[in-house]
Structure 1
Amino acid sequence: MRPLDEKRATKIQVDQVPLLQQPVHKNDADGLPTTKPKLTPGPLQPSSHLKKRSTTPSHAEPPSKVIQGPPGNLALQGTGRLDSIGTGGFVRDESPWDTFKLYYECDLAGTVAVCVRSSGSRAVRAIRQYPIQDADRIIGILRSLSHQNVVSIWECFRTSDSLYTLSKFDPLTLDHVVACKAFPEPVELAAIMSQFLDGLSYLAAQNFHHPSLNCSSVLMSLEGEIRIARIDCCVIRQGGRLQPSDFAPVSIIMMELMQNYAKEGTVGIDNPDRWEICPAAIEFVSATISASSFEELKKVCDPWV
C-alpha cells in the first residue's frame, strides 16, 4: 500500500481482478445460484458485437408510420412496481437474476454475490440477500442514509421470499489489511481511520447505532475508499447520546491495524516501539477510551495526514 495523493486515501495495487466466465446452472432454495464456476484469467468478453447502422434506410424498410390523435401516457411494461428508496434508488418487485448474471459468491462483510448485467454494461456489481421479513426495516434504513463512507445501495429487488440489494463491488475489507504482513504506513492508517470516523459520525447524526462493527464489516475499494457495511444491523440509538460502546469498535479496529490483533479486556499496544515514528497513533488509541465524540477523535487523527 502507498499514499494515493494528498487526499485521505490509501491505494491497493493489483494487476487484475479476474471474473468467472462459465454459466451458473443450479439454484438453491432461496433462488441464489449455487454452482460456482471456476475462475479464469482475462476480462469478460461480450457474447455479441454491436454493428453500426447505416444512416441510409434500406429499401426493405417500411415507410415511417404517423400516429394520429392526442398524446398518450407512456408506460414501461414488465418492469415490476417501482418504489423510491431515495438518492435515485428504486425497489423493483422482481428477481435480480432476471437482469444480472452471477459469477461467484464470497464473504465481504457478509455473503455477497458478485455479478454483472446479463446484457449491456459489464461493470462488476455486488448483490446481497435478506429475508423478506426484514425488507421494510432494511428499506427504511436505506431511505435514511446517504454518505460516502457508508455503503450506498443503488437498487433493491423484492420477491416473495427475499430482498436483494445492489451496490458497488468493493473487493476488500479491513480484515484484508490486517492480514497483510506489512503494517500500514502512518499516513495510510490515518486515511483509513479518518474515513471510518466520518462514517461513524454520520450514523450517529442520523441517530443510528451499529452494534456489529469490526474489521470484517468495513469495506475498502482498490482506491482506498472506506465504507461501513452491514447496515442492516443498524438500530435506532436509545437516549440519543453516545455511549462507551460506540467507541469500542474504534479501539478494536485501531489495535488490529497496528498489531494484527486486539487486546482482550483492555485497550493498548503491546509493541509501541514499532510506532515510535508516529506517536500520534499511540495517542489516538488512548483517546478512544476517554473520547466523548467522534469529532474529538478526528482532531487527534488529522495531524497525521
Structure 2
Amino acid sequence: MTSDSDKRQTQVDFSHVKRNLHSLTPIPGPRELYTKAQNAFQDGPQSPEQPPQGSKRKRTGSPGGALVETRARSEELILPKAADAGVRPHEYVRIKNESPWQSLRKVYELKLDGFITVAIRKPPSCEIVTVKNFVGSDREQKVKRLQQTQHENFVRFLEAFHSEGSVYVVLDYVPISLSHVVTSPAYPTELQLAAILGQILDGLAYLAFKKLEHGALTCSNILVTREGVIKIASQECCRDVGSLPGAELADAKALGQMAMELMQKYTQDDGATGVEDCDRWPSDSKAVQFLAMTTSTTSIRTLRKHPLIESPWRKEDLKWMVALAGVSAYRGYKYLQ
C-alpha cells in the first residue's frame, strides 16, 4: 500500500490561459470566408515567394503561455466572381499558387477522350489522381464549370494549381470508360443498360437544373467506377443554354448514340440511330423503344420517365462488367518513368 506521504498532488494554474484567450484570432464565419475568396480573385494571383496582400506575421498565445509565430499561407483562393459564376460558396475549391508537382508525381498518361496525366500524391497519402492542364484565355471559365458540376455522377474536382500561366486541375482517378465496356466481349442486359443510362440521365438532369448542356458526350468521357457508379467527365466543356428551346437536344441525341454503341458494339456509319440485332434487342423491347425516343425528344425529364429508366436497375449490377472491361479492353497509355 502507498502511504499518504507518497501521493503526489498536481495543481494547474489556468490564469495565464484565460489571459491569453483574449489574444486568439476568432475563427471566421462562412460569410467572411466568402468575402475573402472574392477579394482574392479580384486581386489576382500572387507570386508564391511573396506573402499575399494583407498577410502578416502574428504572435498568438498558446495554452502553455508560449508565443507561437504563424504566417498566412501563400496559397490564395482564385475564384470566379459570384455574380458571374453561379457557384455557391460551399462549392468553391481552392486554387493554390504553386506548381502541382511539389505535392504530386507524374506516373503515366491514360487515353480516355484524350490523354490525361495520372499522378500520385507524395507520401504519406500516395493517393492516385488525374491531372488536366488548362491554358489559354478560357482557363478560368473551365475551372468555373468544374466548380459548378459537383454531383455524384460527375468526376470529382479535388483541387487546382495556378502555375506559370496555366491552371492544373486535380480530379478523381477513374480509369475505365464506357468505351472499354463497349470493346469488352460482354453485352449488357436490359437492366444493366438501364443502370448506365439512368445514371447518365441523373447527371444530365443536374446540368439542366443548372441551365447547362454538356454538348460533347461520348462513350470515351463517360467513366464508370469499380462499384458501378457512372462518372461524367470533360464537364469543363459545358456551356450555358438558359431556357432556350431544344437546349437539351444535343445531349439527348448523344445519349442515343451511346446506347446504340453499348447495345451492339458499334454505331451506324450514316449517323442513324437503330440496332440490327433483333434477336438480342427485339423491336418491342424497352431498350429499343428508349433508343427511338432519343431521336425525337428534346427533354431529359421525358427520357427519365421512360419505362426502361424506371425499371428496378441497380448500379451494383455493373460491377462484373467493369471488372471484365478492366482486364480485356485495350487502353492506350504512355508510361512516363
What pairs with 1:232-271 in structure 2 (closer than 5 Å)?
A: 232-237=236-241, 239-243=243-247, 244-263=249-268, 264-271=270-277
Match of 2:138 in 1: 134
Distance 1:304 1:189 in 2: 12
Match for residue 299 of structure 2 among 288, 293, 298: 293
TM-fit CA distance, 1:76? 4.5
Q: How does 1:78-97 map to 2 (within 5 A)?
A: 79-83=74-78, 86-87=90-91, 89-97=93-101
Tell me the alpha carbon deviations over residues 125-159 of structure 1, each in whole angstroms, 9 at most, x when there is no partner. 11111114222111222232221112221101111
- In structure 2, C-alpha distance between the alignment counterparts of 1:123 and 1:278, rounded to whole Å: 47
SS of 1:289's equivalent in the other structure is coil
CA contact (8 A) 1:100 1:115 kept: yes
Alignment correspondent of 1:164: 168
Unaligned runs of 5+ in 1: 1-63
Q: Aligned residue for 1:75?
A: 71
Structure whose residues are more often helix by fraction = 2
Look up the match of 2:20.
none
Give the superposition deviation at 1:239.
4.8
Correspondences of 1:1-305 after superposition (within 5 Å): 66-67=65-66, 74-77=70-73, 79-83=74-78, 86-87=90-91, 89-237=93-241, 239-243=243-247, 244-263=249-268, 264-276=270-282, 279-300=285-306, 301-303=309-311, 305=313
Gaps of 5+ in 2: 1-62, 81-89, 314-337
Q: 3-state SS of the aligned residue for 1:193?
A: helix
TM-score, normalised by the number of residues in structure 2: 0.65
User: 1:217 deviation in Å?
Assistant: 1.4
| Deviation at residue 206 of structure 1 after TM alignment | 1.0
Deviation at 1:304, TM superposition (A): 5.3
Superposed CA RMSD in Å reads: 2.4
**Number of equivalenced pairs:** 238
How many angstroms apart in 2 are the aligned matches of 1:88 and 1:234?
18
Aligned to 2:321: none
Quick one: distance in 1 between partners of 2:66 and 2:235? 50
Detail structure 1 runs of 4+ shifted over 6 Å in the superposition.
none
How far did residue 259 of structure 1 move? 0.5
Relative to structure 1, is the Cα distance of residues 129 and 143 closer, same or farther in structure 2, using a 3 angstrom cutoff?
same
Per-residue Cα deviation, 1:175-203 (whole angstroms, up to 9, x for no partner): 00110111112221111100011111111
Structure 1 length-normalised TM = 0.71
Preserved contact between residue 82 and residue 90 of structure 1 (Cα < 8 Å)? yes
In the alignment, residue 281 of structure 2 is paired with which amino acid?
A: W
User: 1: distance between equivalents of 2:149 and 2:281?
Assistant: 36
**Counterpart-to-counterpart distance in 2, 1:236 and 1:125:** 28
Q: Does the 8 Å CA contact 1:126/1:167 hold for their aligned counterparts?
A: yes
Kept in 2: contact 1:109–1:219 (CA 8 A): no
- Three-state SS of the structure 1 residue aligned to 2:137 is helix
